[in-house]
Chain A
C-alpha cells in the first residue's frame, strides 16, 4: 500500500530534469525547484462551536425547520473559516435562500414518498414508484450538481473552486460503476470507488488550475480487501468469543440447576444476543470507517493541482477509525449533545494531518469565469444521504 506521502513533487520538477537530460553531466546543475510544505491547520474550538451549533439548532426548531439552510450554511462556514493554509482560511459562500428552495422541493418529494409507503392510499404504487424511479435515475445527476455547487461555494484566497463534472462522467462513475459492483456481488466495488474519486478530483479546479488524480485502481482493491479482512477476522473472533460466552453462562447457570438453553428465551441469552449485535455493529463500523479513512488518505496523497501543488496526508487511518467509533459512542451516550465536540475533534485530527506541498508560491493562481450553480443537488445530497465519500 502506498500509504507514505509522495516525496518528490512532479510536474515542473520532472520537466526540468527532462529538459536537462541531453547534457548528461549538467543535469545536477539544474536547480531543483524548492518544495515548500504548508501544513493545514484547524483552529475551531469545541466550546465555541457547541454554542454556535446549539443556537442554530434551537433556531431551526423554533422556526419549524425554515431556518435549517441558514443553520447548515453557518455550520459549514465555521468549519471552512477555521481551516487555514499558509495564513489564509477557506470560505463557504452558498446562499441559504438557494438551499431553502432545494430543501423544500426535496423535502416535499420525500414526504410524499413516505406517506405513499406508509398509508398505501389508492394509487400509492404510482406515487412511490415514480418518485423512487426518478431518484434512481437522477442520482448521478444529483451527485454532479452537488459537487459543482459545493465547489463553486468554496473560496480560498479570494478564488473559487470549480467542478467541471459532466453528466456523462457522473452516470459512468455513479450509475454504471455502482450497477457493476452490485451485479458482481461487490467485486467491482473498489473499482467503483476509484471511478468516483477520479470523477471528483479530475473535474475539480482551483481558480483556473485543474486538479489531476494520480491514483490507480489497485490501491482501492488493497483498501477494500483490508476492510474485508478486518470484517471477516473480527466476525470469526466475535463468533468464537460469543460461543464461549454462551457456553460459559450455560455451564454456570446449569450447575445452579437452571436450564438456560432449553427454556424460553432467558434474560441472559437476550443480553448475550444484544451484546453480540452491538459488537457486530461496531465491527461493521470499524471496517467501513477504515475504508473511508484509508480512501481519503490515499486520495489526498494523489491530488495534484495545476502542476505545482500536491496535497498530502499523514494522518493514520486507524487513528481516524478510533476517532470515528469513539465519537459515535460518545454522541449516543450524550444523546447527541457531544456532536459539536466530535465534529471538531475529527476535523482537527484530519486537517492537522494534511499538507499542501508547492513548488510555486500559493499566490500564483488565477481566477476562472464561474457560472452560477443551483442548489438542488446539494439539498438532495444533504437530505437523502447521498454519500460523496468524504
Chain B
C-alpha cells in the first residue's frame, strides 16, 4: 500500500503467544504498513496486511491475531476501528456492528423483521404453497388420492354406500353435469360412501370432501340431509372449486411451510416452544382454509347461478349441516362472535350464507 502515511497509532493491551495461557502486557504500534508488537523484552514486526483483525462484538475486547500464533487483545476499540477503516477490513461485519450500536437502527430492524414475517405468513406462504401445488405433477396427485382413500377405507372411516343402485346412478349422472361445467382437466370421480360405519373410530357423518386429483367423496348421511338434489349439486360444485383451486395440496404445503417456519423460529422440533408455536400455527392454518372455503363457495355460487339462478340450495344445506337439524334453513343460523369465528376451521356458516347471498345479488 502506498497511501500517504496516516498518523501512527499506538494501542495498549495484553498479548498471548498461543502456546501458553500466560498473559503479558503489550503494546501495538502501527505506522505506515508495519505493525510492531512489543511484549516485555521482545518485539516483532509484521506487515499490516498479515495481521488479522477479528470482527467487533459489542462490549468485548478487540482481538488482533498474528501469523506466528500471537494474539493481542485491547480495550481500545476506537483505535482498532480506525485501523480497520485504514486497512478496509471487516467492512460487512463493521456495518453490522454500527447497526447494532444504535437503538433507532435496532428498532428499524425490528420493524423490518415484523413486516417481513407478517408478509411472509400472510402472502408468502400461501403464494409459495399455490405455486408448489400448481407445479406438483399429476402422478403425485393421483398417489395422494389413492393413498387417502385407501387409508379412510382401510381404517373403517368409510364403508360402501347403502343407497340404492338407481339412486347412486342418478347422483353420478348429476355429478357428471357439474364436472362438464367445471374448468380444468381433472379425472373427476364421485365416491358415494357410508360415513358412519358402526366400527369407525371417528364418525365422518354428513360430509363431502375433495382430494387433489379430483376424487370427491360424499356420504350417505349428507345425501339424506338434503331436501333436493340441487343442494347436493351445490355441494359438489363447491368441491370441484377445491380441486381446481388445488386447495388440498396447497393446504399440505402451507402446513409444511408453517412447520418449517416454527422450527426456524423456535429452533427445535419437540419442546415447549413448539407447543407455544402450535396455537398461532393452527390459527393461521384456519385463516388459510377459510380463504379456500370462500373461493370454493365462489365456484359453487357461480354454478348455481348458471343452472338455477339462485344460491339458496347451498345456503339451506349449509344451515342444516351447521344446526345438525333436518328442519333448519338459512335463517336459523346465528352469527357467532369474533373469537368463535377465529377458532372455526371453516368460515362461520352465517358468514358463508351472507357471501352466497351477495353472489346471488351480484348475479341478478
Contact = CB atoms under 8 A, between A and B. Distances in A.
Interface of A: 43-45, 48-52, 54-59, 61-62, 65, 70, 74, 77-78, 81-82, 87-89, 91, 111, 114-115, 118-122, 156-159, 207, 281, 284-285, 328, 331-332, 336-337, 362-367, 382, 384-385
Interface residues of B, number: 55
B272 A62 contact: no
14 contacts: A54-B106, A59-B109, A61-B116, A65-B264, A81-B57, A81-B61, A82-B60, A120-B143, A120-B144, A284-B272, A363-B21, A364-B20, A385-B270, A385-B271
B60 A118 contact: no
Given A54-B106, A118-B255, A89 B144 contact: no
Chain A interface SS verdict (over half): helix
Contact of A58 (B58, B113, B260, B264): B113
Nearest to B276: A332
B265 A365 contact: no
A51 B272 CA distance: 26
A179 B22 CA distance: 45
A331 B276 CA distance: 10
What are the 6 tightest A-B residue pairs by CB atom distance, in nearest-first order? Answer: A158-B16, A81-B60, A58-B109, A51-B106, A363-B22, A365-B21
Contacts of B99: 55
B96 A74 contact: yes
Chain B interface SS verdict (over half): helix
B88 interface: no
Given A114-B256, A114-B260, A158-B71, A62 B144 contact: no
A367 B20 contact: yes
B145 to A, nearest CB: 11
A118 B256 contact: yes
A362 B256 contact: no
Interface in B272-289: 272-273, 275-276
Contacts of A57: 109, 113
A366 B54 CA distance: 23
Contacts of B63: 91
Interface of B: 16-23, 54-55, 57-61, 63, 71, 93, 96, 99-103, 105-106, 109-110, 112-113, 116-117, 136, 139-140, 143-144, 147, 252-253, 255-256, 259-260, 264-265, 267-273, 275-276
A207 B21 contact: yes
B47 to A, nearest CB: 22
A367 B19 contact: yes
A328 B273 CA distance: 8
A281 B21 contact: no
Nearest to B268: A385
Contacts of B140: 119, 121-122
A290 to B, nearest CB: 14
Nearest to B255: A118
Given A156-B21, A367-B20, A55 B105 contact: yes
Given A77-B60, A328-B272, A118 B252 contact: yes
A78 B268 contact: no
A62 B259 contact: no
Contacts of A118: 252-253, 255-256
Given A74-B57, A82-B60, A55 B256 contact: no
Given A120-B147, A156-B21, A385-B267, 12 more contacts: A43-B59, A51-B58, A57-B113, A62-B112, A70-B96, A74-B93, A87-B23, A115-B256, A119-B144, A158-B16, A158-B18, A365-B21
Contacts of B93: 70, 74
B59 A122 contact: no
Given A115-B256, A119-B252, A122-B140, A48 B109 contact: no
Contacts of A331: 276
Contacts of B112: 58, 61-62
Given A121-B143, A207-B21, A363-B23, A55 B57 contact: no
Given A51-B101, A58-B112, A89-B61, A159 B20 contact: yes
A6 to B, nearest CB: 23
A9 to B, nearest CB: 18
Interface centre among B109, B252, B255 (most CB of A within 10 A): B109
B21 A364 contact: yes
A121 B106 CA distance: 44
B260 to A, nearest CB: 7
Contacts of B252: 118-119
A44 B144 CA distance: 52
Given A91-B63, A114-B259, A119-B252, A363 B20 contact: yes
Contacts of B147: 120
A82 B60 CA distance: 6
Contact of B60 (A78, A207, A363, A382): A78
Contact of B58 (A52, A157, A336): A52
B54 to A, nearest CB: 8
B23 to A, nearest CB: 6
Contacts of B110: 54, 58, 337
Nearest to A367: B19
Contact of A48 (B17, B59, B113, B253): B59
Contact of A55 (B19, B100, B264): B100
Contacts of A158: 16-18, 21, 71
Nearest to A45: B59
A57 B59 CA distance: 19
Interface centre among B16, B99, B100, B117 (most CB of A within 10 A): B100
A122 to B, nearest CB: 6
B16 A157 contact: yes
Interface centre among B60, B96, B256 (most CB of A within 10 A): B60
Nearest to B274: A385
Given A43-B59, A51-B103, A62-B116, A385 B20 contact: no
B19 A366 contact: yes
Given A158-B16, A363-B22, A385-B270, A48 B143 contact: no
Given A58-B112, A365-B21, A78 B58 contact: yes
B249 to A, nearest CB: 8
Nearest to A207: B21
Contacts of A78: 57-60
Nearest to B103: A51
